[in-house]
Amino acid sequence: MHATDSPQLLEIIVEESGLPRGGVLQTVALLNEGGTVPFIARYRKEQTGELDEVQIRQIEDLLVYHRELAERKVTVLKSIEEQGKLTPELSGRIESCRKKTELEDLYLPYKPKRRTKATIARERGLEPLALLILAQELTKGSAADAAAPFVNEELGVADANAALEGASHILAEQLSEDADRRAMVRDLTREEGIFSSLLLGEGADREGKFKMYYDYQEPLRSIPSHRMLAMRRGEKEEVLRLTLLAPDEEIVGRLRGGLIKRESIFKGVLEAVAADAYKRLIAPSIEVELRLEAKTRADEAAIAVFAQNLRNLLLLPPAGGRRVLGVDPGLRTGCKLAAISETGRFLEQATIYPHTGGAKAASAGGELVQLVERHDCRLIAIGNGTGGRETEVFVREALRAAGVKAETVMVNEAGASIYSASEIAREEFPELDLTIRGAISIGRRLQDPLAELVKIDPKSIGVGQYQHDVNQPLLKKALDAVVESCVNYVGVDLNSASWALLSYVAGLSESQGRAIVRHRDENGAFPTRQSLLKVARFGPKAFEQSAGFLRIRGGENPLDNTAVHPENYAVVEQMAADLGVSVAQLVSETGLSAGIKLERYVTDTIGVPTLRDILAELKKPGRDPREQFQTATFRDDVVTIADLKEGMILQGVVTNVAAFGAFVDIGVHQDGLVHVSQLSHRYMKDPNDAVKVGEIVKVKVLSADPERKRISLSIKQAEPEKAPKTPPVKNQPKQPREKPANDLSAWERAGFRVRK
């Protein structure tokens, strides 16, 4: 157990997660032992009760939050106790609170603070007057008369009004530091507050990017993430003034109602205290807090969209073990060509100039065909950047003229230039020019998107929404989790993977990934998973966590090319012995697994969930869980926006999904937008329910504006509406309603699979 994991903390995690108690406690124990999320989800199902990655990450997040809260409570309690102000009631409230904001509200009156108007008033001896006003016992005379005895010119209290003002500052600060009153203001503003944006001045927005928000209002509780982030960006760029409008009158009325207990000569003073406390002290801090809360909520939603897009991009179907010619297009600078072997090994490079005219353009087709024929590259990967479509047309025509059969595929080249200049690219190809490295990356992306894209910072891949505006540590954590999940879901070839890919395997760090590659380079291919233990500084824990996700094709043990963990090899060996066959036969002859009775192999440590997974592996050993490879076909007569005509039906590839719709590459150098209302004949609150990054779709052109480079597309108008399903028979039991998208957890929205 972690030092701060009290039984109460663990029970809070059980309650807030809503998951079975036993599974939560076992998961916490496994995490404390250094278990990784992919390993626990895959290989410790009996202990966790088959919790999936989403649920385990939820537990992990709650654990981190409440540990931080528990540590902060210790600091707060110690500080208040040292001041001699800790009461049993206050201690109880601090111990029982579950939110960081609630804890800070409770600590606020005791928090060391700079010299305020209230502290100055106390120094001037006005606290007794403040207590007198608060008691509200005087009903005769005037407030000025009651304050007269506190006039003291030596202390800076010139007259009765100055005395009342100082006492009011003391009371206003006390009111502003009352945890219950702050909670009331926070809750009411959160429920009824409105975000308002106004244009700062004429000419502030020359490009008209924020035109929608020049005079705009939307409730705080319901503002979508993309609009929140857009307004904040407008504020940051000094185009918009963003304000949170609160129900001020209602709030001040409630503060007055709580402060004024009876009729007294101080009623007017107390009314002013309530207004001052709210306007000067409470409202500004609550606005900052709620703006941050709204920003955090918007960040989380935007990050979830980014994570979902990244997951879909990483899990795009691989072209597999086929030779590829990678092409990095260029109009004036020439097209860089890189021939790549079935395993991703660089073979040869060339630069051709098909778009410059003259002798170089005339010879470009012949050079291309020679390279294709020399290395038998039947798959041509062409980057979709500047000159991409022109190059695709040239390549197809050159191949057709030479009678060479090869398939051309447009590949999203976002981030290829980042890779070209990266440390890993320099390590892989120290002698090559940056542009050739880019062509290699484009070709490898087609062979195996996951293996190549992990080498690039996810933020450079171009599938995010306001990615530079959101909380960067939160973004990195979410994206790293997505990459880790995808890598371990697919599995990694131990004898060909880069250190970058290996570093995302459960239990491995970058240094361990590098050590594995170094050992492989010096000693040759790993014959077995067990031989990993010969790698320097590679211990039993790293082996336990990583081994099941690493594959060895054609190794000594056929189980090394499956997701069966080495700790369970003995079970498979017993299964094979009971069937009277070898392990190699059991793995290669998939029909044999039909004769296995799982219940015979249940033990204290291996239950039915693990045995089911083993059986699934024996039925499809070494399978790649990604979908079958397929490509989109762009029209030859549509190369630029000017070629688009309203009503055209085209094929395209989804390049990005945002809260307001999806962007689709239709081969004209500018992605078109399919607004969320045009995604489906059914209502879609979340565009990810309709399409995903990398998906090939049919679209109809609604409009095209070459000057503004804007294309409006529709998916639903390109496909006829499907006939409604046959009505259900009466008296059938009702099916459970689908869970609304906004009720999904952040990890679910990020695309992690959830066991229902």
Report the CATH number at residue 665: 2.40.50.140
**545-568 mean pLDDT:** 96
Q: What integer pLDDT is reported at residue 386 of this predicted model?
A: 87
16 and 83 share one domain = yes
Please state, for a pLDDT cut of 70, what percent of the chain lies above it: 95
Q: What integer pLDDT is reported at residue 485 of this predicted model?
A: 96
Q: What integer pLDDT is reported at residue 41 of this predicted model?
A: 97
**Number of folded domains in the chain?**
4
Helix (H, G, I), strand (E, B) or coil at 379: strand
In the numeric block, the tokens 């597309």 are attached to 713
503 and 442 share one domain = yes
- How is 657-721 classified by DSSP, letter by letter? EETTEEEEE-SSSSPEEEEGGGS-SS--SSGGGT--TT-EEEEEEEEEETTTTEEEEESTTTSPP
Is there a domain that residue 58 lies in? yes
Nearest of 44, 72, 74 to residue 56 by alpha carbon = 44
Instruction: Note the pLDDT tens digit of each residue in 462-471.
Output: 787 788 889 9
164 and 275 share one domain = yes
Q: With cut-offs at 50, 70 and 90, classify the pLDDT of residue 750.
A: very low
Q: Which of 81, 110, 139 is the last residue before a domain boundary?
A: 110
Is there a domain that residue 418 lies in? yes
Whether 450 and 486 have beta carbons less than 8 Å apart is answered as yes
Is there a domain that residue 542 lies in? no
CATH of the domain at 20: 1.10.10.650
Q: What is the span of the domain harbouring residue 55?
A: 7-110
Whether 230 and 213 have beta carbons less than 8 Å apart is answered as yes
**Highest mean pLDDT range out of 197-206, 437-446, 736-745?**
437-446
Q: Which of 19-28, 65-74, 469-478, 567-576 has the lowest mean pLDDT?
A: 469-478
334 and 449 share one domain = yes
CATH of the domain at 441: 3.30.420.140
Q: What integer pLDDT is reported at residue 743 of this predicted model?
A: 45
Is there a domain that residue 547 lies in? no
287 and 187 share one domain = yes
Instruction: Note the pLDDT tens digit of each residue in 152-190.
Output: 999 999 999 999 999 999 999 999 999 999 999 999 999
474 and 366 share one domain = yes
Whether 741 and 308 have beta carbons less than 8 Å apart is answered as no
Please state, for a pLDDT cut of 90, what percent of the chain lies above it: 78
Is there a domain that residue 53 lies in? yes
Whether the predicted pLDDT of 749 surpasses 50: no
Using CA atoms of 471, 472, 476, 482 in order, give the dihedral in degrees to the nearest 10. Answer: 40
47 and 141 share one domain = no
426 and 479 share one domain = yes
Q: With cut-offs at 50, 70 and 90, classify the pLDDT of residue 622.
A: confident
**285-302 mean pLDDT:** 94
Alpha helices for 18-116 (secondary structure H): 21-32, 37-43, 45-48, 53-82, 88-96, 100-107
Q: What integer pLDDT is reported at residue 722 of this predicted model?
A: 66
Q: Which of 187-201, 641-655, 737-751 has the lowest mean pLDDT?
A: 737-751
- How is 306-356 classified by DSSP, letter by letter? HHHHHHHHHTSPP--S--EEEEE--SSS-EEEEEE-TTS-EEEEEEE-TTS
Is there a domain that residue 406 lies in? yes
203 and 330 share one domain = no
CA 719 to CA 702: how far, in whole Å?
Answer: 14
Q: What integer pLDDT is reported at residue 730 of this predicted model?
A: 46
More confident residue, 684 or 330: 330
Q: With cut-offs at 50, 70 and 90, classify the pLDDT of residue 605.
A: confident
Instruction: Note the pLDDT tens digit of each residue in 262-289.
Output: 999 999 999 999 999 999 999 999 999 9
203 and 282 share one domain = yes
Q: What integer pLDDT is reported at residue 721 of this predicted model?
A: 74
Q: With cut-offs at 50, 70 and 90, classify the pLDDT of residue 415.
A: confident
Residues linked to residue 610 through DSSP beta bridges, in sequence order:
none
Q: What integer pLDDT is reported at residue 667 of this predicted model?
A: 86
DSSP 469: T
**What mean pLDDT value characterizes the chain?**
91
Q: What integer pLDDT is reported at residue 110 of this predicted model?
A: 94
Q: What integer pLDDT is reported at residue 736 of this predicted model?
A: 41
Is there a domain that residue 630 lies in? no
* pTM, full prediction: 0.85
198 and 271 share one domain = yes
CATH of the domain at 180: 1.10.3500.10
Q: With cut-offs at 50, 70 and 90, classify the pLDDT of residue 611.
A: very high
Neighbours of 77 (CB within 10 A): 16
Whether the predicted pLDDT of 727 surpasses 70: no
More confident residue, 35 or 343: 35
Is there a domain that residue 529 lies in? no
Q: What integer pLDDT is reported at residue 624 of this predicted model?
A: 85
Instruction: Note the pLDDT tens digit of each residue in 443-455.
Output: 999 999 999 999 9
**102-106 mean pLDDT:** 95
Strands 215-219 and 346-352: unpaired
**418-430 mean pLDDT:** 92
Q: Which of 42-51, 365-374, 404-413, 628-637 has the lowest mean pLDDT?
A: 628-637
**317-326 mean pLDDT:** 92
394 and 471 share one domain = yes
Instruction: Note the pLDDT tens digit of each residue in 571-601.
Output: 999 999 999 999 999 999 988 988 899 999 9
Q: With cut-offs at 50, 70 and 90, classify the pLDDT of residue 101.
A: very high
